[in-house]
Chain A
Amino acid sequence: MKARFYYILVWMIAIFAACTPQPKDVNKVSALPPMYPDYPDITIPYNIAPLNFLLRNDADAIEVVAQCGESVLQVNKRGHEICFPIAAWKKFMNEAKGKTADVKVSARINGRWVQYRTFEWQIAADKIDPYLSYRLIEPDYEVWNHLQLIERCVENFEEHVICDHNLVDNSCMNCHVYGNQDPKLSLFYVRGKNGGTILNRNGKLRKLDIKNSQMISAGVYVGFHPSGRYGVFSSNIIIPAFHAVDSKRLEVYDTKSDIFVADFDRNTIYSCPQLSDSTVLETFPTFSPDGKYIYFCTARRANLPKEIKKLKYSLCRISFNAANHSFGTKVDTIYNARLKGHSVCHPKVSPDGKWLVYTVADYGTFPIWHREADLQMMNLKTGAIDRLATVNSNRSDTYHSWSSNSRWLVFASKRDDGLYGKPYFCYIDRAGKAHKPFVLPQKYPAFYDDNLKSFNIPELSKGKLPFNAVDIERLMKKENEKFK
């Protein structure tokens, strides 16, 4: 009986294998495969989830062979989509770690097999932090709905909801940020009636009302001090406006903004005149990895919205002493907007303290809607600026975050269609050279075609968050902790 079972099984496997299309009489072409996402010639971390893709043509069968020395990953599929078996993918990636794999794609179109130009996957031995958080939101104007904060494991396709609109009375929620890429140190805002700043520190959740009488609004942009005790916040009066011409959609600008530091141990807010000058707009604060400096962007107040195109932010820094929570008296200008002609947003220093990546746009403070917005990387030792030509696209590239080992950047890019932002990963090697980025892989290759949401503020983390959306729902029922 048992023998008969195996006999049938072997036959079934043989029939199945015979049904799987195999290339024959292959016609080689010099073009790269018309694949989506754009995965040819990229550098990927060895622990990334399978790079499933589809061909944008009439292929009814595909063969993919990835080869690295003796290791081979081969998949044959009917249709125009390729989904790699996760176990085989992981095995191959581990074997090819630190090497380069050649990838050969063949497709059957109208009954004829075509083999495209072989491309490379450089498989970096530097691991990417395994978790990524982002906000899912439609690229809307003023009205929001159905917001979610999501945590996704980039090593596979698992995701879970950190905060769900259903459980917070459909309130607006802002993006989730980590301190030191540590899952036990993170923060986000839930707005609305019972809203507050949700702080996850050492795995303990608190709901804070970080506002005092001197502040013009609650916190907006935020960065953690490496100790986890302090957070640096901006408070902004934000105004949305709408463009009339085709290529532009939305403009968001601040009419007022200041920066302050909140002490999470003493529930106290600290500021200094250099960071809360009423004639100047200060925003996008972030601590240096050693906690000794606060980097921020600043611009002279202009007559808005008329002079919106004159609103250009410089990049500055001021020292901070965590021991006595005091600020320096001198403000250093790192990037002078007046001289360079661009506006700087979202500065983020790499955890090893060597690089500073920021966004530049023609003007203003909301680069996500500026198609010219690009990332730039500054060598903090030499001051040299890399315009990251291999990384940027002709659409908005912004909202970046570093991995804990300073080797990977994730950023939101609208390069595919100009409207829907997606998380792209980019390798920065030891010499500081940036490699061609690739989009977050999805289980179903057509996912991004049907998806109507943008991925906002992608942030990497070393581990899984210790809370979920139900915990946040319960926290929302509690009173806010006041700050003074």
Chain B
Amino acid sequence: MKQYINQIFSLIFGLAVFTFFAFFYQYHLYYQEQYQLFLFTGDYFTQMSYHIGGLAAYLGSFLTQFFYYPKLGAIIIAILLVIIQELILFLSTMMKRQSYWTLLTFIPSIIYWNMLCDENTMMTGVVGLIITLLAASFYMLIENGWTRMVYLIIFAPLLFVMVGGVYVLFIFLSLVIEYFYFENVTSTSAIIGTVGGVLIAVFLPYMCSFFVQAPLNRLYWGFDWYRFPVVGVGFYLYIWVSVALIPILFVVIPDMKKHAFFCTTAQFVGVVLLIVFALYNGYNRQKEEIMNYDFLIRSKQWDKVIQKAQKKSPNTPMSVADLNLALAKTGQMSDHMFDFFQRDPQGLLPDFQRDFTLPLVTSEIYYQLGFVNTAQRYAFEAMEATPDYQKSGRVLRRLAETNLINGEYKVAYKYLKILQKSLFYRKFANRTMGLLWNEKAINADPEYAWLRKCRPQKDFLFSEAEKDMMLGTLFVHNRKNRMAFEYLMAYYLLTGNLQQFAKCFPLGKSIGYDHVPYTYQQALKYLGRQMKQSK
């Protein structure tokens, strides 16, 4: 039992990570997946791995595609964080075999766990760190000092190309191993290795900046660890310093053999407290809620959206917009819209923002309404605004659909061909490919056929300030478009324009309500009362 204690701790840690991501943070994983599209093509590999740190980015993207199934994603994250811990454990215990400080090796993985709670932390960093630790572990296995020196000097630049700035950790760990594990302080090979390693660490990114089109600071720190190109150096330093310090601590801290129980207990408590702190600090319940709404909308689970809102009414524009869409899609908007918290028209049709999240939600609403071109524009802009410039499987799917509906088959074909090269969008692409240039098949598809009937036929220029005009035009074009009518009426109610509401109310006849919707009754009664008072 005692000999397996480290493995048991690793197992428990892995299970904890899995449980967290699989059951408490699963929508963050969905969110991650939708902002990238891993393709099984040589071209994608070349494109990804052509820049510094590209191999780590490629493998990170490969792993992220499995977040399409969050439980699978949670397993992957758990395994990777355990691998990081095990590699640090290997390096540290090799330094000092009889150490009672093994639980310290969990610290970098816990820090990374905290970082992965941020939806913009990419898997590139996790993969890059593992490759670096593997390279350092291999250094430890080389017996001959000259071979180690050659390995260090040749492999460090290669590692830089593969994983980016984290290669300095490899150089640092190699030198720590050289001096503390091999205790090779004065040999020529160690001196050459040290000087060479330091020179490579300091100057390689700088030299590269003359040949590679990338900012110098990113060459030093790394690419694709975070979705946004600009991130504080603390993001890297927390991880790098913790990984570098643990093996040194193993050498420096006394063994505490006499107080082994106390030592292990103290570490255990410390590690648990650190996990609690990491999750308290990292866990973002509100974002998880918003992502949950978005997922339900994306997968057209309208009833679940409403059930969720009945438990706790959403209060952010994004989630209120999701709820209103679900209400409209289930025919409940006109009766039950005001059963829930309503902000303003932003919770109905949010204004455009140069952002990669909100336009995606708004695109769903415009799509369901029948504003196919606007849905296409919002989806396209969302993908274009993605800070790391990844293509989005979700957006490409939507663009294929909008182009299919608009009869732009060649463009739809292009997107579908790309999606066919992915793992989880292939099925959709293969099915949709059969609809191209096949009017009969498209018109037999309930969704596409309906949207074709709804989309505007008379051209006008989109105007954010005249959403009511656009909704009116859409409804007049197809008077069976109940959603357009209810959005128009909801727009007037939310803007307090009851005169227009009353004016447009009779248009609803064509929809064939079996009763005057509850919300409309209230509004009309209020308006009637006001008119009486004014008389």
Judged by a CB distance under 8 angstroms, whether B528 is at the interface is no
Please tell me if the beta carbons of A244 and B460 are within 8 angstroms of each other in the complex. Answer: yes
- The smallest C-beta distance from A281 to any residue of chain B, in angstroms, reads 18
Nearest CB to that of A395 among chain B residues?
B410
- Tell me the count of chain A residues lying within 8 A, CB to CB, of chain B: 37
Task: Give every chain A residue within 8 A of B406 (Cβ-Cβ).
Answer: 246-247
The distance from the CB of A151 to the nearest CB of chain B, in whole angstroms, is: 13
Known: A247-B406, A417-B411, A418-B410. A444 touches B43 (CB 8 A): yes
Residues on B with beta carbons closer than 8 Å to the beta carbon of A308: 461
Assess whether A452 is interfacial by the CB under 8 Å rule. Answer: yes
A 243-284 to B, binary, CB cutoff 8 A, 1 in contact else 0: 111111101000000000000000000000000000000000
B345-381 residues at the A interface, CB under 8 angstroms: 352, 354, 371-374, 377, 380-381
Contact residues of A: prevailing secondary structure? loop
Closest A-chain residue to B213, C-beta based?
Answer: A164
Residue in contact with A242 in the complex, picked from B354, B372, B373, B389, CB distance below 8 Å: B373
**How many residue pairs at the A-B interface have CB separations less than 8 Å?**
103
Beta-carbon contact of B381 and A246 below 8 Å:
no
Contact with B along A219-259 (1 / 0, CB 8 A): 00000000000000000000001111111110100000000
Assess A145 versus B461: contact at CB under 8 Å? Given A167-B214, A418-B408: no
B381 touches A244 (CB 8 A): no
Q: Does A11 belong to the interface (CB within 8 Å)? A: no
Stretch at the interface among A62-70, A135-143, A328-336, A402-410: A135-143
Decide if B213 touches A469 in the complex (CB within 8 Å). Answer: yes
The verdict on A143 contacting B385 (CB below 8 Å), with A242-B373, A244-B461, A249-B373 known, is yes
- B95 lies within 8 A of chain A by Cβ: no
Out of B381, B417, B456, name the residue touching A141 (CB < 8 Å): B381
B: number of interface residues (CB 8 Å)? 43
Task: Return the contact of B384 from the options A138, A248, A305 (Cβ within 8 A).
Answer: A138
Given A241-B462, A245-B457, A470 and B209 contact (CB-CB distance below 8 Å):
yes
* B459 and A244 contact, CB distance less than 8 A: yes
B311-368: which have CB < 8 Å to A? 352, 354
Is A377 located at the chain interface by the 8 A CB criterion?
no
- Cβ contacts under 8 Å, B418 to chain A: 450, 452
Chain B residue nearest in CB terms to A253: B461
Provided the pairs A242-B374, A449-B414 are in contact, do residues A140 and B461 lie with their beta carbons within 8 angstroms? Answer: no
**A146 on the interface (CB 8 Å rule)?**
yes
Minimum C-beta distance from B453 to chain A (A): 13
Would B461 and A243 count as touching, CB distance under 8 A?
A: yes
Q: B interface, by DSSP: helix, strand, loop or mixed?
A: loop
Contact A140 B408 (CB under 8 A): no
Check: A419 CB closer than 8 A to any chain B CB.
Answer: yes
Question: Is B503 an interface residue, CB under 8 A from the partner?
Answer: no
Contacts A142-B354, A419-B411; is A246 near B374 (CB within 8 Å)? no
Give the docked Cα–Cα distance between A164 and B389 (Å). Answer: 14
Residue ID in chain A nearest B414 by CB atoms = A417
Q: Min CB distance, A193 to chain B, in Å?
A: 14
Complex: how many Å from CA A146 to CA B386?
A: 10
The reply to whether the CB of B532 lies closer than 8 angstroms to some CB of chain A is no
Q: Is the CB of A140 within 8 A of B456?
A: no
- Cβ-closest chain A residue relative to B44: A450
Kindly state whether residue A166 has any CB partner on chain B within 8 Å. yes
Residues of B contacting A142 in the complex (Cβ-Cβ under 8 angstroms): 352, 354, 381
A248 touches B459 (CB 8 A): yes
Please give the distance in Å from A133's CB to the nearest CB on chain B: 16
Complexed CA–CA distance, A249 and B410 (Å): 15
| Separation of A416 and B410 alpha carbons in the complex (Å) | 8
Residues of B within 8 A of A170 (CB): 229
Besides A164-B213, A243-B462, A419-B411, 9 new A-B residue pairs in contact (Cβ under 8 A), listed by A number? A138-B380, A141-B381, A244-B371, A244-B373, A244-B459, A244-B470, A246-B405, A246-B407, A417-B411
Contacts A/B (CB < 8 Å), 17 sampled: A141-B380, A142-B354, A145-B384, A166-B213, A166-B218, A167-B213, A242-B373, A242-B461, A244-B461, A246-B372, A246-B406, A248-B459, A249-B377, A417-B410, A418-B408, A419-B411, A449-B417
CB-CB nearest 3 A-B residue pairs:
A246-B406, A417-B410, A242-B462
Residues of A at the B interface (CB closer than 8 Å) are 138, 140-146, 161, 164, 166-167, 170, 241-249, 251, 305, 308, 416-420, 444, 449-450, 452, 469-470, 473
